[in-house]
Amino acid sequence: MGFQFHLMKTEKETGARLGKIITAHGEFETPAFIPVGSQASIKSMTSDDLIEIGVEIISNNSYHLYLRPGHRIIEQLGGLHRFMNWNHPILTDSGGYQLFSLGQLREICTDGVMFQSHIDGSRHFISPEMAIEIQRSLGADIIMSLDECIPYPASYEYALRSTTLTTEWARQCKEALRGNGQALFGIVQGGMFEDLREKSARELREIGFDGYAIGGLSVGESPEVMYHIISHTSPLLPREKPRYLMGVGKPEDLIDAVKGGVDLFDCVIPTRNARNGMLFTSFGKLVIKNARYATDERPIEEWCGCYTCRHHSRAYLRHLYMAREILALRLNTIHNLYYYVHLIKGLREAIRQDRLVNFCKQWKKKRENKDDL
Amino acid sequence: MGFQFHLMKTEKETGARLGKIITAHGEFETPAFIPVGSQASIKSMTSDDLIEIGVEIISNNSYHLYLRPGHRIIEQLGGLHRFMNWNHPILTDSGGYQLFSLGQLREICTDGVMFQSHIDGSRHFISPEMAIEIQRSLGADIIMSLDECIPYPASYEYALRSTTLTTEWARQCKEALRGNGQALFGIVQGGMFEDLREKSARELREIGFDGYAIGGLSVGESPEVMYHIISHTSPLLPREKPRYLMGVGKPEDLIDAVKGGVDLFDCVIPTRNARNGMLFTSFGKLVIKNARYATDERPIEEWCGCYTCRHHSRAYLRHLYMAREILALRLNTIHNLYYYVHLIKGLREAIRQDRLVNFCKQWKKKRENKDDL
């Protein structure tokens, strides 16, 4: 069974969308949040942990897996789902973002990117065809076109040249696709320039993809600029295909983007912040190392249903963090992922019941009450 | 309900013992292995993980918890069981071993030990009374006398002086006990000198404890010397009280010590080795980073029932280890603890059925077959 997206509803007041994605490894509703598992592991989590949290789809990173353990090894072992024992939907990034953030001594040409591994300095060349071949070997349900992710700020000329290149690479990716049931998404680039976003979206629509991503955001621009580009770009994308905002973001960013008609998100924030002791709650950020939690018997959040909140006090979590215990990473990650997954589920219900604006108002109001922190 | 030990059986052929320990937080059979949770955490494990593995009792370390978060904080939070959400038996070490291995600038006198914290260099004084008071605050089911743990090799004179001091401290610990249901164990010292072990055991018996530990082993001596001291010391201890071999050891050490009449063990080997990628199997040690496992689809051990072996291949575990993923620490720890717990359970059944010698022969024979490694 191949990939399907069903748009079930668009909320009139906001334009927020409720949808369903069906893959060979199961289905899930959108909006959906995709935890990031760069190296075939959502850091510190087993598949059972993720299922218990309510995670429905995870991402993996082609750049990392190409370098280690190697996509051929994963293919030989039956693909990524089997390799990491996750029998649910997986999305793989093409590696574009990592090529430009981790790879060293890059040389970009129309054919692809020459780069040195951040692990051992070895030289590699990734073309659009190669990006598809790697992702075919890995076997994810949703795969991404190779794109150039430009820094911020970038000149109009550079952004224009790069957008043209990304379109060309997207075309080559589409042509390299073997039609094995994997859904291929194109990635809209164009920096912070409205007309380049329009050009990118138009050209990608002409090629035709199973879904469309908005890339190149959360790279240093202000939240206002980011939201402007999202709300400008989202309506340019085909109504009947899923829209995926890459690498974003904070809970408030997700809420704004859902209102702007975005369906999918991935971001390291919940997992990375968890490992740094920054916990999300409905009343704001809780920094677990604060001395005020040393004897605080309450869970992170009283009404949270996650494993961590059901079993452990802030005092214990603070102790684990201060003592640099490994368990701190895991318990904090469970809580933050649960927060994100359940925020998204709350947004779904609000869209279903035509009360998203009210949901968001209440959500923001709760945050102003810091008594429970 | 206070502490009880029931000796259910002594195997005639070997002297190995089958017993049962009853505490206010549950009961378990002996021989038993006690995983080490120095800082109120068996590294990377939740209580649910430990229960699923079959762990029945864990240890915690007074030295670590006194320094961080502080025993008063744990007492205020309802004691160690509640603090770490482990509602099963706990043993706390007095901190003697850590005072001598981690503490800096120690000054030992009859009254106790002055030392500097390994965390922040702050100065502290621990007396036998203080060691008991800390452990009373923590609230473990089994607590230990303060002892001096001498290095190896040590002169006869030093060992004699130290043994005398340990006896005096043990007496003070017994006197400081408030009779709140906690079981107090004395610790036999005496270095590698038979007559000092005899003196220590005799003097501790005269004071009278709920159990007796054999300390000061696995400090650099050969396995032969260690086993000699164990088999010499064990029969000196009262038949009707549990015998606890501290800080030992490898699977083969456990087997030998069980034959020598030992009932309890604690050791960091299964957990620490797991974090270093060294996995225990019935056919010997498996070093997961070896390249031969890169495409090995088998679990660590085919017939192992642990979570890791039921869900993950050697290839995936190797990848996690090479990629320094946090999940590697946890999955490896689950396997090694399961191995230890089930080795001990196997020993119990063998004693129950009067076939320990045969069990040990078969165990050693399996190890010679490296085909499955």
DSSP B185-243: EEEE--TT-HHHHHHHHHHHHHH--SEEEE-S-SSS--HHHHHHHHHHHGGGS-TTS-E
A84 touches B at CB < 8 Å = yes
CB contact under 8 A, B311 and A46: yes
C-alpha span between B168 and B160 (Å, rounded):
12
CB contact under 8 A, A319 and B294: no
Q: Which two tokens mark B370?
A: 């490296």
Q: Which of A73, A324, A327 to mutate to test the interface with B (most CBs of B within 10 A)?
A: A327
Element (DSSP H or E) covering residue A112: strand A112-116
CB contact under 8 A, A323 and B73: no
C-alpha span between B184 and B364 (Å, rounded):
36
A372 is known as an active-site residue: no
- C-alpha distances (whole Å) from A52 to each of A29, A307, A310, A334, B4 are 17, 8, 13, 9, 39
* Rounded average pLDDT over A84-92: 98
Q: What is the pLDDT of residue A54?
A: 98
Q: Please choose, from the candidates A166, A356, A128, the residue with its C-alpha nearest in 3D space to the C-alpha of residue A255.
A: A356
Dump pLDDT digits (tens) for A288-331.
999 999 999 999 999 999 999 999 999 999 999 999 999 999 99
Q: Which of B38, B41, B61 to mutate to test the interface with A (most CBs of A within 10 A)?
A: B41
Q: Cα distance from B313 to chain A (closest Cα, Å)?
A: 8
Q: Residue A77: which of B46, B64, B313 has the nearest Cβ?
A: B313
Element (DSSP H or E) covering residue B9: strand B4-10
Q: Looking at B48, B49, B93, B253, which residue is catalytic?
A: B93
C-alpha span between A347 and A28 (Å, rounded):
14
C-alpha span between B115 and B112 (Å, rounded):
10
- Residue partners of B99: CB distance under 8 A and separation at least 6: B63, B106, B113, B115, B126, B149
Contacts of B312 in chain A (CB under 8 A): 85
Neighbours of A298 (CB within 10 A): 12
Q: Please choose, from the candidates B174, B170, B29, B187, the residue with its C-alpha nearest in 3D space to the C-alpha of residue B97.
A: B187
Q: What is the pLDDT of residue B1?
A: 62
Helices (H), A114-268: 128-138, 156-176, 194-207, 223-233, 251-259
**What string of DSSP letters covers A268-300?**
SHHHHHHHTTEEEETTEEEETTSGGGTT--S-S
In three-state secondary structure terms, A246 is: coil
pLDDT along chain B (373 residues), means of 10: 93 97 98 97 98 98 96 98 98 88 81 91 94 97 95 95 97 94 97 98 98 95 96 97 96 97 98 98 96 98 97 98 98 98 98 97 91 80
A40 touches B at CB < 8 Å = yes
- Residue partners of A217: CB distance under 8 A and separation at least 6: A226, A229, A230, A245, A246, A247, A248
Q: Which residues 265-284 of A have a C-beta within 8 angstroms of B?
A: none
The answer to whether B315 and B300 have CB atoms below 8 angstroms apart is no
- CATH class, domain A4-267, is alpha beta
- Residue partners of B315: CB distance under 8 A and separation at least 6: A69, A73, A77, A83, B293, B294, B295, B296, B297
- Cis bond leading into B151, ω under 30°? no
- Exposure pattern of A97-129 as b/e (b: 16+ CB <10 Å)? bbbbebbeeeeeeeebbbbebeeeeeebebbbb
CB contact under 8 A, B311 and A69: no
C-alpha span between B51 and B223 (Å, rounded):
32
The answer to whether B273 and B280 have CB atoms below 8 angstroms apart is yes
Dump pLDDT digits (tens) for A237-292.
999 999 999 999 999 999 999 999 999 999 999 999 999 999 999 999 999 999 99
C-alpha span between B140 and A263 (Å, rounded):
51
Q: Residue B319: which of A40, A76, A316 has the nearest Cβ?
A: A40
- Which residue in the block uniquely carries the two structure tokens 């575990």? B317
Q: Where are the domains of chain B?
A: 4-267, 275-364
CB contact under 8 A, A85 and B44: no
C-alpha span between A83 and B315 (Å, rounded):
8
A47 touches B at CB < 8 Å = yes
C-alpha span between B24 and B260 (Å, rounded):
28
A147 is known as an active-site residue: no
Contacts of A311 in chain B (CB under 8 A): 46-48, 85
C-alpha span between A56 and A28 (Å, rounded):
6
Helices (H), chain B: 47-53, 62-67, 71-76, 80-84, 96-101, 128-138, 156-176, 194-207, 223-233, 251-259, 269-275, 307-311, 314-322, 326-352, 356-368
Q: Residue A319: which of B40, B47, B329 has the nearest Cβ?
A: B40
- Which residue in the block uniquely carries the two structure tokens 């959360």? A218
CB contact under 8 A, B41 and A320: yes
CB contact under 8 A, B297 and A77: yes
C-alpha span between A8 and B137 (Å, rounded):
58
CA angle, corner B208, sides to B215 and B140, nearest 5? 65
A87 touches B at CB < 8 Å = no
Q: Which residues 287-316 of A have a C-beta within 8 angstroms of B?
A: 294-295, 297, 307, 311-313, 315-316
Q: Residue A41: which of B48, B307, B327 has the nearest Cβ?
A: B327
Contacts of A44 in chain B (CB under 8 A): 326-327, 330
Examine the predicted complex and report whether its ipTM is higher than 0.95: yes
Amino acid at the residue A326:
I
Indicate whether A1 pLDDT > 70: no
C-alpha span between A104 and A124 (Å, rounded):
10
Contacts of A318 in chain B (CB under 8 A): 69
CB contact under 8 A, A311 and B41: no
